């Protein structure tokens, strides 16, 4: 009788072990983008920035966003989860600049409000909108 009971226990244990080995994991590894630091804006909404433009984004470890939008300094917050990125500029200085820099500043600010994802490609940081279009192209400073 002990032999039959031992075989049943062994069979049940084997069956449970076999079933647990077939279990799949639902967790998905989301790539992490290295975004912290100072980034020079090379292009905004498909247009290259003006040569020697001070346009830059600074991503701090605590979620603080700051930088220069071509003419004025700005500040706010950002949130990065995997490749999902939200930029939330909260305010900026209000000085006047030459028309070309003011126009570029408008493109930078419009682009920031559209960004939903971040992607690293060929040493650049591409900040894209929901349609996958690059709104800002950045290079690490």
102-112 pLDDT, tens digit per residue, is 999 999 999 99
**CA dist 45 to 97, 117, 135, Å?**
20, 15, 5
Residue 52 falls inside a structural domain: yes
Asked whether the whole model's pTM tops 0.85, one would answer no
User: Within a domain: residue 44?
Assistant: yes
What is the rounded distance in angstroms from the CA atom of residue 61 to the CA atom of residue 67?
Answer: 15
- Helix, strand or coil for residue 74? strand
Number of independent structural domains in the chain: 1
In a domain, 80, yes or no: yes
Residue 30 placed within a domain: no
Q: Which of 11-15, 42-46, 114-118 comes out lowest in average pLDDT?
A: 11-15
Are 94 and 109 spatial neighbours (Cβ–Cβ below 8 Å)?
no
Name which residue leads in pLDDT, 11 or 117: 117
> Domain containing 104: what range?
37-140
35 pLDDT higher than 70: yes
Residue 54 lies in a domain: yes
Q: In whole numbers, what is the pLDDT of the chain averaged over residues?
A: 87
Q: What is the number of other CB atoms lying within 10 angstroms of the CB of residue 13? A: 10
Neighbour tally for 31: CB within 10 Å: 8
Contact (Cβ atoms closer than 8 angstroms) between residue 72 and residue 94? yes
Q: How confident is the model at residue 5 (pLDDT cuts 50, 70, 90)?
A: low
CATH number of the CATH domain containing 131 = 2.40.128.270
| Residue 76 forms part of a structural domain | yes
Q: How confident is the model over 34-39, as a mean pLDDT?
A: 95
Q: Is residue 18 predicted with pLDDT exceeding 70? A: no
In this prediction, residue 22 carries a pLDDT of 53
Tell whether 3 is covered by a domain: no
Chain centroid to CA 71: how far? 25
Query: pLDDT by residue (tens digit) across 48-102?
Result: 999 988 999 999 999 999 999 999 999 999 999 999 999 999 999 999 999 999 9
Q: Please report the pLDDT score of residue 32 as a whole number.
A: 77
Residue 9 counted as domain residue: no
Q: Does the pLDDT of residue 20 top 80, yes or no?
A: no
Whether 21 shows a pLDDT value over 80: the answer reads no
């Amino acid at each position: 009788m002990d032999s039959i009971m031992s075989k049943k226990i062994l069979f049940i244990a084997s069956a449970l072990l076999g079933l647990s080995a077939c279990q799949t994991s639902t967790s998905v590894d989301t790539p992490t983008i290295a975004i912290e630091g100072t980034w020079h804006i090379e292009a905004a909404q498909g247009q290259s920035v003006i040569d020697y433009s001070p346009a830059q984004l600074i991503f701090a470890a605590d979620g603080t966003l700051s930088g220069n939008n071509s003419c004025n300094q700005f500040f706010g917050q950002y949130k990065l989860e995997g490749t999902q990125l939200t930029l939330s500029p909260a305010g900026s200085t209000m000085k006047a600049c030459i028309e070309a820099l003011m126009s570029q500043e408008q493109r930078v600010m419009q682009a920031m409000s559209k960004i939903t994802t971040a992607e690293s490609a060929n040493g650049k940081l591409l900040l894209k909108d929901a349609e996958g279009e690059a709104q800002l192209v950045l290079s690490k400073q």
